[in-house]
Amino acid sequence: MRLSHTRLEAAKNDPISFISTVSAPYAGTGPSRMQYVILALKHYHESGLNRAIDYVEAAFNRRGFRLEHLDRYIGYLLKYDSVLQSHPDWELIVLRDRINYEIIYNFVLSGEVGRVDLTPRGYYVWLFSETTVLNWNQEFRMPILQAYYADEFGAPLGEVYVGRYSFSEGLYESEHYSNIQVNDALNELRQLGVQLLAGGEEEVITHG
């Protein structure tokens, strides 16, 4: 079973109801305007800000999005650029990282993480959002992502920070969880995995 970290909160809050929804078809409609901004970051890091802006403009025209909203999304790229220009010592390690974290046998936490940096302070793990998310640091997945990247980089937990980047605010906020908090979250996730597997061993949870 694969469970996206974006659906972890729903699974934790009501495992029984969650199991009954995993077989529902995914009604995808193509990338949203915000998703095109995130896709444009590849062009930003490879070819610069102007190329990223061109990509978003072309996507708006191709998809027939309302052009009066275009300046807002280009503004998100400008703020992203400003944040990075003000932190030249943040080294990008990976953009749009796909995680595969085996929690117990046949239960894998998956999903995408916006970016990961190496900074003088340690590793910064970014989750992207268009606007500020209240109480994001209380989300179940956060200490688990800290544990995953500590394992990935062979780093102490104390050198890994997880957080959210708000495109509308141009703001990255991070949190660091204690060893006790991380271990408690992992133990709870293992118990959740056992419960989900018992309710639907063959299901694959990938949406979100």
Q: How far apart are CA 83 and CA 99, in angstroms?
A: 25
How many C-beta neighbours within 10 Å does residue 41 have? 19
Structure-token pair, residue 129: 């959002």
Q: How far apart are CA 171 and CA 175, in angstroms?
A: 14
97: left (phi over 0), alpha (psi -120 to 50) or beta: beta
| Fold observed for domain 2-199 | Lambda Exonuclease; Chain A (3.90.320)
Each residue of 159-183: pLDDT tens digit? 999 999 999 999 999 999 999 999 9
Q: What angle do CA 37, 127, 157 make, to 5 degrees?
A: 150
Tokens 């605010």 map to which residue?
169
pTM of the entire structure?
0.90
Q: Strand 160-166 relative to strand 107-119: parallel, antiparallel, unpaired?
A: unpaired
Task: Residue 111: name the closest of 123, 124, 135, 127 by CA.
Answer: 127
Each residue of 186-203: pLDDT tens digit? 999 999 999 999 884 434
Percent of the chain exceeding pLDDT 70 equals: 92
